[in-house]
Structure 1
Amino acid sequence: MVGVMEEIARMTAAVDAVLNDRKAHIADLGEALGAIPEPGFGEVRTMELLAERFRSLGLAPETGLACTGIRVTVGPEDMPEIVLLADMDALPTRGAPGEMMHSCGHHAQMTVMYAVFEALLTAGAPDSFGFRLSFVGAPAEEYTHIDRRKELRRQGRIRYLSGKQELIRLGIFDKTSCVIKYHSMADSPERMATINGTLNGFVAKQMHFIGKAAHSGAAPHEGINALNAASIALMAMHAQRETFRDEDHIRVHPILKEGGTTVNTVPDRAFMETYVRGATLEAIRAAARKIDRAAAAGAMAVGALVTISTTPGYLPFNPSEELGAMLAESAARFISKSAMDMHDHSYASDDIGDVASLMPACQLGFSGFSGTIHGADFAVCDPERAFVLPARILADLVLGLGADGGAKARQIREHFVPVFEKKAYLAYLDECFEERTFAFE
């Protein structure tokens, strides 16, 4: 054990030296990625920029995974594989140039994980310690542009609507022992990092209300007002909120995207979207049934028709306790424990929850950003904190997992009890695609 600890200490110093030497390079990469925001399954320039960086290291990355994903792997074959996982897509953001921006900080994810990979590779850690190391860039984490994704699904280019779900289907994680992820967060005086935080899961719903057009002044009685149906459905959804238990962390947040074409015509079409979020699958299913009833009630009230299209969304994220404990130890080597928010639950969602249902995974949340996440004012305010410090923490974690032939990574994988086996997981996703129509006269 003493020999292993000495090797880790020696390699840690070598990795730190690389990160110190490459600080400007790391910040430049973050800026370059931030300048090319692209939507999910459309991250073409992002993929090419990352591929160029890996080729400059003498590597041959796999590209075009799940349309625009990327993977590069080093280290001896048949040894435990540690995956550095990063989201690639940007987010529609009102007020940003082109209305598209990395307002969720995915450019920082890619930058940090690239920095960790480069530092470990340059220091010779994978070959010296005897473990596999992969960088995986995953497209389409933000669950947006759903109609475009459904079209890709109809074309057979994807089967599922998120990048990690597609990468799972394609077998990218079939030999993985542990998955490590990073996410940016806004600065706070009391909190520098979140460790072992959990996330809600969700299902997504699109609701098409169909009525009957008529002249809204001369003959409104001859029409069926689809906007009224949607409005009543919204009120019925709000009436359900008192039935949601606090411990289930339910969030329902619909938006009305269409409600008529002209003010002079009774609206014959209305279109609504919502997520139904919760901390457990059972809670999500129960809340989703209530939302379906509310939509049907709105249609019933005015004699309209409603079609409810449901898609899988993401599973709740529950990190591996063993892997999370090691992440906390690594973080404590660089920042004060008082600056760590341990075991925080966020009502947000991420398809890392799907990955973590199949294999050990953990996520480090880290500050260094100003503004509002998902807002046009979100920005890096401290490159050292946003990029370099989390890279040090995660590199330290990888060294602990990868030492002695990946002994810890292997042990954690062997101890892990999955929520799903892969076949059952894919079957669950398939079952979640559902379309129901309620018609009333």
Structure 2
Amino acid sequence: MSFDSIYPEIRALVDGLWDHPELGYAETRTARAVEDFLVRHGAGLPIEHFSTTGLKVALPAVDPGSDRRRVAVVAELDAVISPAHPDADPATGAVHACGHHTQVGIALAAFAHLVSTGEWKQAGIDLTFVFVPAEEFVDLAHRAELREQGAITWFGGKPEAMMLGVFDDVDAAVCLHAIGGLQDGPTVEIDCDLAGFLYKTVEFEGVASHAGLDPFSGTNAFSMASLFTTALGLGRQQLREDVLVRMNPVVPSTEMTTNVVPHRAVVGTDVRSIDLDYLGEVAARVDRAAHGCAQALGGTAHITTEMGYLPFIQDRTMSGAFRDAFDQDERITHLIEDRGAIAAAGDAGDLSFMMPTVQLSYGGFDGTIHGRDFRMVDPEHVLIDVPRLLVRALLRLDAHLPEPLRRRSYEEYVATIAAIAPVPAGALSAVPSSDPEATR
């Protein structure tokens, strides 16, 4: 099966995902579309379900019992919340302005080609395809409810999959992601590192009173929140520039009215950096600012810290397979390999903590990632050329695996998180279900 011949089916699937975006841990329609495709093209291979909507399918080991390595191709199922986008779901604000719908299409095109041609048997590695929920760190109230119900432990889909043992039989991983902004020609990118981040929720507590009759008896929590966001802005002068510190404080919807001095105001902010140690230092400064602003106006601050994702350091050795594949490609004309790190983040960073991981990024879009103008403009590049390059790289990846092959345990991952943020209850006690249907 050629990539050109399967393109109409892949394009229809990807367009369907664009038209029906779903948020993390709720990608039921998306997962169903992926599973239907895997059943049609998977030659009866068993499909493992995990973490509400996740799916995993492993191609058989070519030489069971040998020391061959197994590499996972990882795609993400969820959409981002960007309600300003004209194609956003009016009820949820969800839209694939992240390009995750195309990740799914690329991974499925590669899977179908490898199975139909039998080329997977020619690779020096064994291959697994994993479709992971909840990469975007959004819709946190819903995820908190799922955690309270015991349905999930981690807000991020890859840490959840790591906890459940989905990657226990995997030695390295290849992730995928779209590049925003119109490129000069068909483009792919390698070796772009990402920041890590924490998420802070600060609840300021004051005293309610009548805003007209007796504001003197009140303590304005919203004023504390305003002072706090101002303090974060003024404090940026004292932050290092070389480690890409970012903060984006937002005020969620509130029950405030104009005739009552607000007794409560909530500010949520991420705290990002490519340097994990400095991330902890900046987080401590944020906490001091919150408490200081509350105290200055006579109130209190209650801070909740949730771990976002770890910084992503791409494995430069593995990237060599994609560089070789690009050199032999006649249709993809541009390779970006010198951008360095950017302040975007993703839970590929958590996976890269455990094992060597790379992310193949690809153009074919116009507009800003997560913005109101993001759209696919070159579907043939995205859904034909990129899967072809991906397969070409996978078939030679065995020659580009690092030696020794680094591996850290999930327990080490939890210990690293615990050094800078609270660890979710049950993070070390969760046990994968013996019934793969139980988490569906």
User: How far apart, CA to CA, are the structure 1 residues paired with 2:23 and 2:226?
Assistant: 30
Q: Describe the SS at the equivalent of 2:305.
A: strand
Asked if structure 2 preserves the Cα contact closer than 8 Å seen for 1:205 and 1:273, the reply is yes
User: How far apart, CA to CA, are the structure 2 residues paired with 1:160 and 1:430?
Assistant: 13
Q: Describe the SS at the equivalent of 2:225.
A: helix
User: How far apart, CA to CA, are the structure 1 residues paired with 2:331 and 2:275?
Assistant: 32
1:305-348 deviations in Å (ceiling 9; x for gaps): 11110011001010111101222221232269972221322210
Asked if structure 2 preserves the Cα contact closer than 8 Å seen for 1:250 and 1:277, the reply is yes
Structure 1's unaligned 5+ residue stretches are 1-16, 402-406, 436-441
Equivalent in the alignment of 1:53: 37
Equivalent in the alignment of 1:30: 14
Deviation at 1:188, TM superposition (A): 2.1
Q: Describe the SS at the equivalent of 2:381.
A: helix
User: How far apart, CA to CA, are the structure 2 residues paired with 1:41 and 1:430?
Assistant: 24
| Equivalent residues, number | 411
Name the % identity. 30
Deviation at 1:191, TM superposition (A): 8.0
Equivalent in the alignment of 2:394: 398
Q: Describe the SS at the equivalent of 2:351.
A: helix
Q: After alignment, is 426-435 or 139-148 more displaced?
A: 426-435
Equivalent in the alignment of 1:408: 399
| CA separation of 1:134 and 1:237: change in aligned 2, threshold 3 A | same
1:260-298 deviations in Å (ceiling 9; x for gaps): 521010011101111100011112111111111111111
Q: After alignment, is 371-380 or 85-94 more displaced?
A: 371-380
Asked if structure 1 preserves the Cα contact closer than 8 Å seen for 2:203 and 2:267, the reply is yes
Q: Describe the SS at the equivalent of 2:167.
A: coil
Aligned with residue 60 of structure 2, among 75, 84, 96: 75
Asked if structure 1 preserves the Cα contact closer than 8 Å seen for 2:175 and 2:360, the reply is yes
| CA separation of 1:175 and 1:349: change in aligned 2, threshold 3 A | same
| CA separation of 1:55 and 1:273: change in aligned 2, threshold 3 A | same
Deviation at 1:428, TM superposition (A): 3.1
1:13-45 deviations in Å (ceiling 9; x for gaps): xxxx62122222221221122222111001111
Deviation at 1:434, TM superposition (A): 7.2
Equivalent in the alignment of 2:47: 62
Equivalent in the alignment of 2:309: 314
Deviation at 1:380, TM superposition (A): 1.2
Residue 89 of structure 1 pairs with residue 65 of structure 2: no
Q: Describe the SS at the equivalent of 1:246.
A: coil
| CA separation of 1:416 and 1:250: change in aligned 2, threshold 3 A | farther
Alignment of 1:239-254 (within 5 A): 239-254=234-249
User: How far apart, CA to CA, are the structure 1 residues paired with 2:349 and 2:116?
Assistant: 31
Deviation at 1:259, TM superposition (A): 5.4
User: How far apart, CA to CA, are the structure 2 residues paired with 1:59 and 1:81?
Assistant: 20
Alignment of 1:109-258 (within 5 A): 109-129=103-123, 131-186=125-180, 187-189=182-184, 192-258=187-253
Equivalent in the alignment of 2:95: 101
Aligned with residue 365 of structure 1, among 355, 361, 366: 361
Alignment of 1:399-438 (within 5 A): 399-401=395-397, 407-408=398-399, 411-412=401-402, 414-417=403-406, 420-430=408-418, 432-433=421-422
| CA separation of 1:59 and 1:376: change in aligned 2, threshold 3 A | farther
Deviation at 1:240, TM superposition (A): 1.4
Asked if structure 2 preserves the Cα contact closer than 8 Å seen for 1:30 and 1:107, the reply is yes
Equivalent in the alignment of 2:322: 327
Q: Describe the SS at the equivalent of 1:72.
A: strand
Deviation at 1:126, TM superposition (A): 2.5
User: How far apart, CA to CA, are the structure 2 residues paired with 1:196 and 1:228?
Assistant: 44
Asked if structure 2 preserves the Cα contact closer than 8 Å seen for 1:260 and 1:268, the reply is no
Alignment of 1:272-283 (within 5 A): 272-283=267-278
| CA separation of 1:129 and 1:278: change in aligned 2, threshold 3 A | closer
User: How far apart, CA to CA, are the structure 2 residues paired with 1:167 and 1:353?
Assistant: 13
Equivalent in the alignment of 1:4: none
Q: Describe the SS at the equivalent of 2:399.
A: helix
Equivalent in the alignment of 1:304: 299
The AA in structure 2 aligned to 1:343 is D
Asked if structure 2 preserves the Cα contact closer than 8 Å seen for 1:18 and 1:122, the reply is no
Equivalent in the alignment of 1:8: none
Higher helix share: 1
Equivalent in the alignment of 2:347: 351
Equivalent in the alignment of 2:431: none
Q: After alignment, is 119-128 or 183-192 more displaced?
A: 183-192
| CA separation of 1:194 and 1:372: change in aligned 2, threshold 3 A | same
Q: Describe the SS at the equivalent of 2:110.
A: helix
User: How far apart, CA to CA, are the structure 2 residues paired with 1:258 and 1:138?
Assistant: 29
| CA separation of 1:64 and 1:224: change in aligned 2, threshold 3 A | farther
| CA separation of 1:274 and 1:335: change in aligned 2, threshold 3 A | farther
Deviation at 1:190, TM superposition (A): 7.1
Deviation at 1:130, TM superposition (A): 6.0
TM-score (norm 1): 0.88
| CA separation of 1:304 and 1:85: change in aligned 2, threshold 3 A | same
The AA in structure 1 aligned to 2:154 is Y
Asked if structure 1 preserves the Cα contact closer than 8 Å seen for 2:21 and 2:89, the reply is no
User: How far apart, CA to CA, are the structure 2 residues paired with 1:324 and 1:434?
Assistant: 32
The AA in structure 1 aligned to 2:361 is G
User: How far apart, CA to CA, are the structure 2 residues paired with 1:240 and 1:66?
Assistant: 39
Asked if structure 1 preserves the Cα contact closer than 8 Å seen for 2:194 and 2:313, the reply is yes
Q: After alignment, is 338-347 or 214-223 more displaced?
A: 338-347
The AA in structure 2 aligned to 1:119 is H
Q: After alignment, is 95-104 or 234-243 more displaced?
A: 95-104
